[in-house]
């Protein structure tokens, strides 16, 4: 039987040629890299080929990663995606410090672990999994709790610290230790449907350091005001998103590419799929950090019946503190928006909408057993509302310091 000739479609031939050309370019690029930079083995050049192909990154960026070290504090919801991508990216040395064990409730969001890991130390299980992903890097599990006695010694071994913890004592401890050791602290946190990422204490080109965690949050919220993950809940995919952003920031800091979140706080709202960025600055009024302290006492000695204001203006709370309080708004504070109804409809932070001129007629709706925070556009109407409420016997009324 005579053979039928098959004519390939011109577009197919063109696409095939482009693919072949692309593969050839990658091979030539890898060969060039191997010749110019013997730091990487053939296997590593293939592994990191997609990084090396990026003009902004290239072989030099990958070499910086290989020569760098990162300490990840916490192998939980944030730590899992963070560790996965740092290991896959080729960060040369990764330390994992966590004293917890894998629990069944972790598997909803902590994607490094399986049911076979239940009851085992998280740090050990994470290190084992990461080695399977990338055996070319050094991974060190540290099965202990970071505290004021060991923080300086442990953090000093690493170039950058990534804070994936879920409690305020650890966050302040990590921040203060990074400031004392002059380390960059890539911070992330999650709460219910929302996450935050920032790069604290970052070294600028002029030799100065950027804002640190205390510049944004000078003091922790009152004890019991912000519930933990077990109480408040968390969307399982959220730490994957935030942890990946945190990993991206670590990689940028180590490789020196792009623009990091130094001087900014990125806020991600998964429920409404919105992001916003707040500029943050160093607070010259803060006392310098000179030593580590008892962070459990520092964070647990706050009175939950009060919201601390600014030292010079005790009736004013910062937008950052208000933002923390709003996460637990149904129990912690009563937010009163005294703008007009149409302003509230255009955009609001939640809470109760009572225009200033209607405040007296609706004062019976405002609870007296929890702190009240009044907000408006510029601060003038909320100031008047606060004065009115205090005249009516409300003892704990604040206003937000900025719009």
Active-site position among 229, 299, 374, 400 = 229
Active-site position among 80, 374, 376, 400 = 376
Tokens of 378: 């510029």
Among 172, 179, 86, which residue's Cα sits nearest to residue 136? 86
- The verdict on whether 27 is a catalytic residue reads no
* DSSP E strands, 69-207: 69-73, 93-97, 138-142, 160-163, 184-191, 194-200
Q: How deeply is 313 buried, as exposed, middle or buried, from its count of CB atoms within 10 A (0-12, 13-18, 19+)?
A: exposed
Between CA 108 and CA 229 the distance in angstroms is: 12
Is 268 within 8 Å of 275 (Cβ atoms)? yes
SS (H, E, C) 205-227: CCCCECCCHHHHCCCCCCCCCCC
Q: In the sheet that 334-337 helps form, which strands lie side by side, from edge to edge?
A: 316-317, 397-400, 372-375, 334-337, 352-353
- The verdict on whether 229 is a catalytic residue reads yes
Which residue's entry shows tokens 């010079």?
Answer: 312
Catalytic residue set: 229, 376
């Amino acid at each position: 039987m005579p053979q039928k000739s098959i004519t390939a479609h011109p577009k197919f031939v063109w696409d095939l040629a482009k693919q072949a050309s692309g593969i050839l370019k990658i091979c030539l690029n890898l060969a060039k890299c191997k010749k110019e930079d013997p730091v990487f083995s053939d296997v590593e050049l293939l592994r990191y080929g997609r990084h090396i192909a990026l003009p902004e990154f290239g072989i030099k960026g990958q070499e910086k990663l290989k020569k760098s070290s990162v300490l990840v504090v916490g192998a939980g919801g944030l730590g899992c995606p963070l560790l996965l991508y740092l290991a896959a990216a080729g960060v040369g040395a990764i330390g994992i410090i966590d004293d917890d064990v894998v629990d069944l409730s972790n598997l909803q969001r902590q994607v490094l672990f399986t049911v076979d890991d239940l009851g085992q130390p998280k740090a050990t299980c994470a290190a084992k999994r990461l080695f399977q992903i990338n055996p070319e890097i050094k991974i060190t599990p540290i099965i202990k709790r970071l505290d004021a006695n060991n923080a300086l010694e442990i953090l000093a071994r690493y170039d950058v610290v990534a804070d994936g913890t879920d409690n305020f004592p650890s966050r302040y401890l990590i921040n203060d230790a990074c400031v004392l050791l002059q380390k960059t602290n890539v911070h992330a946190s999650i709460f219910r449907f929302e996450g935050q990422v920032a790069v604290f204490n970052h070294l600028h080109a002029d030799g100065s350091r950027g804002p640190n965690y205390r510049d944004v949050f000078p003091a922790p919220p009152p004890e019991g005001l912000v519930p933990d993950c077990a109480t408040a809940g968390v969307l399982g995919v959220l730490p994957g998103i935030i942890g990946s952003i945190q990993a991206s920031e670590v990689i940028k800091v180590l490789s020196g590419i792009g623009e990091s979140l130094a001087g900014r706080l990125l806020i991600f709202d998964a429920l409404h799929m919105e992001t916003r960025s707040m500029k943050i600055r160093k607070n010259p009024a803060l006392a310098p950090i000179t030593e580590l302290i008892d962070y459990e006492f520092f964070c647990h000695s706050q009175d939950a019946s009060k919201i601390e204001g600014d030292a010079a203006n005790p009736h004013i709370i910062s937008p950052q503190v208000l933002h923390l309080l709003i996460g637990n708004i149904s129990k912690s504070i009563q937010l009163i928006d005294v703008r007009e109804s149409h302003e509230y409809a255009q955009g609001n932070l939640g809470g109760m909408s009572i225009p200033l001129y209607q405040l007296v007629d609706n004062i019976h709706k405002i609870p007296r057993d929890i702190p009240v925070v009044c907000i408006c556009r510029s601060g003038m109407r909320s100031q008047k509302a606060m004065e009115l409420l205090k005249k009516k016997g409300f003892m704990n009324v604040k206003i937000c310091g900025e719009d």
